Amino acid sequence: MTSKNSSKDKAVGVVGMGSFGTAIANILSEKSKVIAFVRRAEVMDEINQNHTVDGVSINPEIIATQDPEMIAGACNTIFFMVPSTAFQEVIRQFSPFLYPYHLLIHGTKGLCLNLPTGKTLSDTGKISRENILTMSEVIMKETVVVRIGCLAGPNLAKELYQGQPAATVVASKYNEVILEGQRLLRTDKFQVYGNSDIVGVELSGVLKNIIAIAAGALAGLGLGENAKGLLISRGMVEMIYLGNALGGSLKSFIGLAGIGDLVTTCNSTLSRNYTVGYRLAKGETLDNIMNTMEEVAEGVNTVKLMKTFVEGKGTRAPITENLYKVLFEDLKIEEALQYLMKYPFSVDVDFL
Ligand SMILES: NC(=O)c1ccc[n+]([C@@H]2O[C@H](COP(=O)([O-])OP(=O)(O)OC[C@H]3O[C@@H](n4cnc5c(N)ncnc54)[C@H](O)[C@@H]3O)[C@@H](O)[C@H]2O)c1
Ligand SMILES: O=P(O)(O)OC[C@H](O)CO
């Protein structure tokens, strides 16, 4: 597909300057002019006048706008870095200005519910695969863009911002998207791998958040590394089963975006999902945690969607189901743990 102008000379767009968007914009700005789309005028002014976001310095070459048409006109490649709750709304803002020559890569580790207008999850009770959209599927549904990619991997925003070494996966059905992601993002501190299984890579990033909440809860209870090893390995099995049921390939789950991100997120107090579990185990209510967290923890909504999905399918996902009861019903974490310890798992690796 031919581009309007050569991508090499064009600015790169970043939509959403939260923790992850800011970290990725800084990396991109090492090689390209970056134009950031922000929701609030005061954030735009802060970026354009002070070259900071929430007081944190960014590359002064990054400029900000609130105009989707301006970004779509100036950039062939745009990175969407907003939470799943805002994704559809933001894509719809951009949609009138997007053309088939655009190339979109998203970094969102969440899912959208796709129900008939006016219906909610509590109305339907059960959901199936067609009621769940990954963000690449949202882009396909809402725009004329075909060259779509996602960015996933062990990428804690704060560590990226600090310039610590890391790697990511750009996944797309189109090799040119992978090559363009590598060209734009690769630095001597940031390695970029490619993967053609975009849904598997998206789901890896989405599903590891469930296990990260559980890992935080184990830490909050003061349990040791044996318990964490148990959770990570059984969590991996659950991710693979859920991921296969949703259309992802096993190979992606055992790659950087799967096991790589799972290990990182289950071990870091920088992870919001881990933090949710930790604070729950320390006795805080979910409402209190969500009301006092400034940043998004995608895993909470993912637990709800996945629990409803497995019910609809008539299969089991014991960690997800028990976590649902802890988050949204009154099950104590200790009781959930007891239940899982008695669960008749018997075969170690049964997915290969
Ligand atoms: N923070 C990380 O370490 C990290 C790493 C990898 C992936 N992610 C994923 O990236 C996504 C974003 O996470 P984050 O950490 O940057 O979240 P965040 O809460 O720090 O920031 C979200 C940003 O989206 C913006 N936003 C929300 N609604 C918007 C709208 N309607 N229009 C424009 N902007 C809007 C907010 O203003 C904010 O700047 C999540 O899906 C997360 O799972 C985060
Ligand atoms: O802060 P979290 O829990 O959303 O995790 C951040 C990233 O997904 C780590 O790769």
Categorize the per-residue pLDDT at 6 as very low, low, confident or very high, splitting at 50, 70 and 90: low
pLDDT higher than 80, residue 5: no
Provide the pLDDT confidence category of residue 306 given band limits of 50, 70 and 90: very high
User: What is the Å distance from ligand 2's center to 97 Cα?
Assistant: 30
Pocket (CB within 6 angstroms of ligand 1): 16-21, 39, 81-84, 86, 89-90, 107-110, 155-157, 295-296, 298
ipTM above 0.90, yes or no: yes
Ligand 2 binding pocket, CB closer than 6 Å: 109, 154-156, 209, 212, 261, 264-265, 271-274, 298
What is the pLDDT averaged over residues 34-39?
98
pLDDT at position 1 is 44
For ligand 1, the distance from its centroid to the CA atom of residue 312, given in whole angstroms, is 30
Angle between the N-to-C axes of helices 198-220 and 272-281, in degrees from 0 to 180, rounded to the nearest 10: 30
- Nearest partner of 70 among 15, 31, 17, judged by Cα: 15
Ligand nearest to the CA of 270: 2
DSSP of 2-51, one letter per residue? --SS-GGGSEEEEE--SHHHHHHHHHHTTTS-EEEE-S-HHHHHIIIIIS
**Cα 254 from Cα 250, distance rounded (Å):** 7
Confidence of residue 296 (pLDDT cuts 50, 70, 90): confident
For residue 110, the ligand 1 atom closest to its alpha carbon is 41
Between the CA of 156 and the centroid of ligand 2 the distance, in Å, is: 6
User: 301 with 111: CB under 8 angstroms?
Assistant: yes
Give the domain 7-196 fold.
Answer: Rossmann fold (3.40.50)
**What's the average model confidence in pLDDT over 36-51?**
98
**pLDDT, tens digit (0-9, with 9 covering 90-100), for 262-294:** 999 999 999 999 999 999 999 999 999 999 998
Q: Does domain 200-342 have CATH number 1.10.10.10?
A: no
**Beta-carbon-side half-sphere exposure of residue 4 (alpha carbons within 13 Å):** 13
Average pLDDT over residues 101-121: 95
If one residue of 273, 280, 296, 300 were mutated to test the ligand 2 pocket, choosing by the most ligand atoms within 8 A of its CB, it would be 273
140 known ligand binder: no
| Res 22 pLDDT > 80 | yes
Q: How far is the CA of 285 from the centre of ligand 1 (A)?
A: 23
Is the model's pLDDT at 4 over the cut of 90?
no
Residue 64 clears pLDDT 60, i.e. is over it:
yes
247-254 average pLDDT score:
96
pTM of the model: 0.96
Give the separation between CA 105 and CA 136, rounded to whole angstroms.
Answer: 8
Q: What is the pLDDT of residue 8?
A: 72
- According to the model, what pLDDT value does residue 53 have? 98
User: Is residue 191 a contact partner of residue 167, using CB atoms and an 8 Å limit?
Assistant: yes
20 marked ligand binding residue:
yes
What are the pLDDT digits (tens) for 142-181? Answer: 999 999 999 999 999 999 999 999 999 999 999 999 999 9
Residue spans per domain, the chain: 7-196, 200-342
Percentage of the residues of the chain whose pLDDT score is greater than 90: 89
Distance (Å) of CA 1 to CA 105, 181, 187, 291, 317? 17, 16, 27, 45, 42
- Length of the chain equals 352
The pLDDT value recorded for residue 346 is 83
